[in-house]
Amino acid sequence: MQAEGGRGTVNILAADQLMRSPRLYSTFLLWLLAELFEQLPELGDPDKPKLVFFFDEAHLLFDEAPKALLEKIEQVVRLIRSKGVGVYFVTQNPLDIPESVLGQLGNRVQHALRAFTPKDQKAVKAAAETMRPNPKLKIAAAITELGVGEALVSLLDEKGRPGITERAFIVPPGSQLGPISDTERAQRIKSSTVAGTYEAAVDRESAYEKLKVRAEQVAQEKAAAQPQPGAGSVASDILFGRTGPRGGRQQGILDAMAKSAARTVGSQVGRELIRGILGSLLGSKRR
């Protein structure tokens, strides 16, 4: 991004936690590029991009990524160049990037790869095949011979065609290599053009919290609408009994008295019948 005085601005997004979830990281990448594609105006084919993204550890973007997501990333990477946005994927091995996405990347910078195993040799061969051949250079052999600061470079020319691969030295960045101190970080933040904008954390109410409060309110309204047991209902339950929540019947005092009277009457009638039957039998024998 261009700042005051024509100098560029480098912003580093700390995504160390996000990178632990490859699918979420891929989704975040797609959302970020899609938002830029929708918001930025159409520029055609500018000489220099207005905004450039470097995605480090790019293999994490494509690990376990579904096919539909890969196709969308390929589409956005291909179309976003017309908005003046450049996209660079940084990874140790070109095989980490799908061929469909790799084919949309014009500029190539390949550092050294060591080939000690058949798998490593396959990776070197694949990396060499992704770069434009140079009759004066054996790319596969050169990749394993590159020293510190050397790289094989293939850039787009004025007509957008990949240039012939050349062996070159890369100028090291004129910046500090390593983390800055806490004091330096505080000073940089204080002098930033966006100072005071992102310091305060905003914890918005989530959909889960809103639904939870709504469910509690509905439960309280239902509880308030149910009739509360009063003195009359308690007395009625004691006298006439009540039905439990599981369908069981709990008898009242009147039920108990009726059953007791029925048992008493039943037992007396039974005794009288037995006496009458036995009396008639025994009396007939006596006669």
In tens digits, what is the pLDDT along the chain, a chain of 287 residues? 555 566 677 777 777 777 777 777 777 777 887 888 788 888 777 777 788 888 877 777 777 777 777 787 787 777 887 888 888 888 877 777 877 777 777 788 888 888 788 877 887 887 888 788 888 888 888 888 888 888 888 887 777 777 888 888 988 777 777 778 889 888 888 888 888 887 788 888 888 888 889 998 988 888 887 765 554 555 566 555 666 655 566 666 656 665 665 565 455 545 554 455 445 545 544 44
CB atoms within 10 A of CB 53: 17
Per the structure block, which two tokens stand in for 7? 């100098």
Closest CA to 95 of 69, 62, 67, 68: 62
* Per-residue pLDDT, 242: 62
Closest CA to 139 of 128, 151, 149, 154: 128
- Tell me if 85 sits within 8 A of 49, measured CB to CB: yes
The type of residue at 162 is P
Contacts of 11 (CB under 8 A, 6+ apart): 1
Closest CA to 128 of 105, 90, 154: 154
* Per-residue pLDDT, 287: 44
Residues 12 and 242: their CA atoms lie apart, in Å, by 72
* CATH of range 4-182; options 3.30.870, 2.30.110, 3.90.550, 3.40.50: 3.40.50
* Per-residue pLDDT, 270: 52
Task: Pinpoint the alpha helices (H) of 139-252.
Answer: 139-145, 182-190, 207-225, 231-240
- Tell me if 127 sits within 8 A of 113, measured CB to CB: yes
CB atoms within 10 A of CB 159: 5
The type of residue at 70 is L
The strands making up 166-169's β-sheet, listed across from edge to edge, are 108-110, 150-154, 166-169
* Per-residue pLDDT, 285: 47
